[in-house]
Structure 1
Amino acid sequence: MPPTRRTQKERSAATRATLLTAAYESLLESGYGATTVGHVQQRAGVARGTLLHHFPTRGALMAAVVEDIIERRLQVLTVERGELDPPITSWDDVVDLVWGELQSPPFTAALELWVAARTDPDLLEALLPLQERIFATVHHSVIRLSGADHARAPMLVQFTIDLLTGSYLAGILQPRAGTSAVVEAWKRTLRELDR
């Protein structure tokens, strides 16, 4: 039996996914400066017109990479509480998950774009509509994973995200002594605050 021919919609979705993967991998390997439309086009193995059909500007391509990261690549956003191995059973587990995600390739790629947007007006314009969606989605997902149902849970989650993000950024160029002690101290603090 001959293979089923893909529809135009399926071919378009596959091309889009290939372009997003090429852009994502380029960001990780070479950074934003080297992730040009031409570089992504070559890496994906498509014609320039094909890339421009899907993403008419570099900013649109980079914004789509961020959406792809949100939808598929950040574990903290895509798993359910019982699906993790080991499962999330405490605030310690929540801290470990967030800390791990901050050190993951998807966060590295998103961070690369956020820093570049500070001085790139086109990229800034493309990312601004996504910013609140990202922050709200991360916050909601971590609250859901924490399983905490008391009034202080949203604030504890925000403190956790902000403290761990700051700790990660402080050591991004060179690991800092004492960062793991800060993470462990925050776990102890959360246990106290959650009472």
Structure 2
Amino acid sequence: MRVDGADFIDSYKGLKKAITYVRKNRAPILVHANCPLLGHHTSGVRKEWYRGEDLDVQQLNDPIVKFEKWLSASGETEKTLSDIRKIAYEKVAHDYQQAIKAADPDVEDFDSHEFAPTPVTEEKGERLPKGAGPRNAFSSSSYQSASPPQRAIQVGSRSPIENDRQGSECSEWISDHGCAATKPDQQAACSAITLTEVVIK
């Protein structure tokens, strides 16, 4: 979904539609908002250094100016808009002074308020419903007690060297049982033969 990030009304309607979609379909959605870059990128990267003449063009798409025009067209008086600007400026100036006077953050406290507090601090109860089988082949008791090749059989026709851990276990087991193959494809073939013998036995 695309919205005009410089247009409050278009952004508001677009995000409202996106939220409705997510709640109804229980699925994610990507909102692409085209926004003008009016200020500095950071305190160390000035806008003049990398925006150049484009700054004048970007200013024409200032979302605050566009929103003020929309409010005026909707019937708001200039006095009302002026009062809003005054309140906003005063708040920013007040908060700025508070920030300057505030103590530096404590490095030991950097992760405070990162997550909302929760009454759940430890796991309780059973992971699986009563009477349910194992969630997957890797958690079953038969899998845990089986030899590496037998484990490979239990999870289907996958190669016994599908990951580093299981591959290493199978390679050692096969080597102990007389298979001298060294290349991955040879090991897979030897594994299949050895696994077949295990099943037959």
Bin for the TM-score computed over the shorter chain: under 0.3
If asked which structure has higher relative contact order (CA below 8 Å, sep 6+), I would say: 1
Who wins on radius of gyration, i.e. which is larger? 2
The structure with the largest helix share of the pair is 1
In the superposition, the TM-score normalised over structure 1's length comes to 0.26
